Amino acid sequence: MLERIADRRTSRRLSGRHQKALSERDRLYERYASKMSVNPDLIRQLVSFQANKKEPFYRWLKFKEAFSSQLVGYFIDRFRPETKRKPRILDPFAGAGTTLTTSGRLGWRATGIELLPVGTAAMKARLKADGVAVKDFESYLAKLQDWIQKPRTGSYTFPHLGITRGAFSKQTEEAISSLLLFIEHVEDQDIRYLFWFACLAVLEDVSFTRKDGQYLRWDKRSGRKLKSSFDKGKIHSFWVSIMQKLGIMLDDIRWRNGSAYASNVTILEGSCLDILPTLAENSFDMVLTSPPYCNRYDYTRTYALELAFLGYGEDDVKSLRQTLLSATVENKTKRDYLFEAYHKRSQEARYAKAFGAFSNEKALHEVLMILYKLRDQRKLNNPNIPAMIENYFLEMCFVVNELAHVTAPGGKIVMVNDNVQYHGEEIPVDTILSHFAEVAGLKVEEIWVLARGKGNSSQQMGAHGRKELRKCVYVWSKPTE
């Protein structure tokens, strides 16, 4: 069915151009059209965080950039290799660790790379919970309940960033200070960490903010001068929220049933652009990941409250923003950085291969040429959009090449990503990345398209009409030697 729909789309494009020569994007689409199909198993809830909302251990932190633990289980069952040893899985954009903790529980050796500290905090919390005694957690929870009756305020002051100032009421900030004072008296280090993490996890709930795409959206009760009258609904008191969160965590620790998996999981903190080239060749049986999308989302702003709580100052946040995979209009090119990094590791040939694949990607440079022209005509709502897209694909080309290097022969690479559109011009992320994979020596097995795509923004819809963008899961394999 999808192939017939795809053929009709191509025919419409051709008739609209009076049978002119195919564009490079059309040619690339035709190259992979036979690989595209709708997999009815892959529904939107499965490939997003939504299915995790009620899942034990994954409901602790609202991390919307994650996919579900059920999706991890689905691919592990489908692509489990035949091996007597524990199979090995890698997630180079580990996020909050769904791939790691799910596969670790299923007996895989899991390695994750993550730069955003909010994600690594969530992973560490789940791993520490693996060894916590239920009775000890219950005991400290009861002590906290007594503490709340006569709370004491410590010397802690929330270390606000400029964009978080005024996010809490005075009472909430005093309660946060009181909880951190209580935590100082918790002797068990793992339980201390879990209580601290519970505080991080409720920051948005008890604030005047809500995560909304690229930024924090402010409630009208915040006292800020706002253009809108947004009301996020009831804002619970800090103590109600923290006790509810800790209660959920206790339920999940009880549910654990004594299963131990933390020894199966390795977390590597940093950028995958730096870490992937240091990993051994052919060392993973599967890669399962979802990189940041090329959609202008700025995680350093979305998670500003959590970063401030983690002790990140203004300069730290700016540095983090530049180190993350380029997906915002503020990112500067990493071209020189990558050249120097590969040179220092004496990996000049690997650099040349990846950079060559990026430079020769005709469909990508076709759309970049269009967007740079639109920029010069001042038709884009931000002049840095073309550079962002160029930087994104340069970095992703290096990522794809390194994944081809570390995946074992016969291994699978599964990637979740969305296509994007700017000023009516669709950027076919699925076919461009799949071509990068093919040039890197991988075989494109499937490009599974979700039955329901993603609509373009209301702004673009008004200017360019409604256009559904493909949401895809790519499956690439490494040929056996």
Tens digits of per-residue pLDDT, 409-423? 999 999 999 999 999
Position 17 pLDDT exceeds 60: no
Q: Which residue is it, tokens 């702004």?
A: 459
Q: Compute the distance between CA of residue 91 and CA of residue 87 in angstroms, rounded to an integer.
A: 14
User: pTM for the full model?
Assistant: 0.91
Position 387 pLDDT exceeds 70: yes
Position 406 pLDDT exceeds 80: yes
Position 8 pLDDT exceeds 50: no
**Phi, psi values for residue 381, rounded to 5°:** -75, -10
Instruction: Output the pLDDT for position 101.
Output: 92
Position 314 pLDDT exceeds 60: yes
| Contact partners, residue 307, CB within 8 Å, separation at least 6 | 117, 118, 161, 300, 316, 317, 320
Tens digits of per-residue pLDDT, 188-204? 999 999 999 999 999 99
Q: Letter for the amino acid at 358?
A: F
Q: Compute the distance between CA of residue 381 and CA of residue 12 in angstroms, rounded to an integer.
A: 28
Kindly state the average pLDDT of the residues 449-469: 59
Position 181 pLDDT exceeds 90: yes
Instruction: Output the pLDDT for position 244.
Output: 97
Query: In percent, how much of the chain has pLDDT > 70?
Result: 90
Q: Which two tokens stand for residue 254?
A: 């009880």
Instruction: Show me where the domains of the chain are located.
Output: 2-116+264-305+312-477, 134-255
Least confident of 45-59, 101-115, 154-168, 289-303: 45-59
Position 477 pLDDT exceeds 60: yes
Looking at domain 2-116+264-305+312-477, does it have CATH number 3.40.50.1480?
no
Position 122 pLDDT exceeds 60: yes
Instruction: Output the pLDDT for position 154.
Output: 84
- At 176, which helix (H) or strand (E)? helix 170-183
Tens digits of per-residue pLDDT, 133-171? 999 999 999 999 999 999 898 899 999 999 999 999 999
Do β-strands 443-449 and 471-477 pair in parallel, antiparallel, or remain unpaired? Answer: antiparallel
SS3 275: helix
Position 459 pLDDT exceeds 80: no
Instruction: Output the pLDDT for position 63.
Output: 87
Position 339 pLDDT exceeds 80: yes
Q: Compute the distance between CA of residue 123 and CA of residue 120 in angstroms, rounded to an integer.
A: 5
